[in-house]
Amino acid sequence: LAAALAALLPAARARRSQDLHCGACRALVDELEWEIAQVDPRKTIQMGSFRINPDGSQSVVEVPYARSEAHLTELLERVCEKMKEYGEKVDPSTHRKSYVRVISHDGTKMDLSGVKIDGDVASSLKFACESIAEEYEDELIEFLSHEADNVKDRLCSKRTDLCDHALHIPHDEL
């Protein structure tokens, strides 16, 4: 019995780690998309070369600030702090863990039944988020610099394999 239990323990740890990294990836994308949506769509930033061309003109263009590389890079530096606003929920039938906001963006009351809220969950999620943001920074900027559908699934499942079971996770709305 002890040998069988010892053989199952690494698999359980691996699944817990995968659940954590998948949840962190999905929460990271949710938070980034929410932050992008908060920016005034009329706000722009100048991109391009600030050098003067031989004809006296400059090759500068104005692009929307919300999805600019400068804004996305700034967001990636601080977005993982939001993981302290998440709790852990365990699916009773599959025992898979998912991570849900415990503090709404707009102050509405949330259903927190079955959600575990503690510092260990928040710090583990924050650490996983920071690892993903660092490792996949280029991919995150690539996906988020253009408005795209299903960024969570495309990034967290197809591009990174962080969520091999993502098709079974219900899509949550912020």
CA distance 105 to 15: 30
Per the CB < 8 A criterion, the answer to whether 86 and 99 are in contact is yes
Which pTM does this prediction carry? 0.79
- Residue 108 has what pLDDT? 82
Residue with tokens 């500068």: 60
Comparing CA positions, the residue from 15, 11, 3, 169 lying closest to residue 99 is 169
Question: With b meaning 16 or more CB within 10 Å and e meaning fewer, what string describes 29-40?
Answer: bbbbeebbeeee
Task: Tell me if residue 140 falls in helix, strand or coil.
Answer: helix
DSSP letters spanning 75-119: HHHHGGGGGGGEEEEE-TTT--EEEEESS-SS------TTEE--H
> pLDDT tens track of the chain, all 174 residues?
555 444 444 444 456 688 999 999 999 999 999 999 999 989 988 877 667 778 877 777 788 899 999 999 999 999 999 999 999 999 999 888 999 999 888 878 888 888 998 889 999 999 999 999 999 999 999 889 887 788 888 899 888 889 875 444 444 444
Half-sphere exposure in the Cβ direction for 155 (13 Å, CA): 29
- Which tokens sit at 95? 């025992």
CA atoms within 13 A on the CB side of 64: 13
* The pLDDT value given to residue 47: 78
The single-letter DSSP state of residue 46 is E
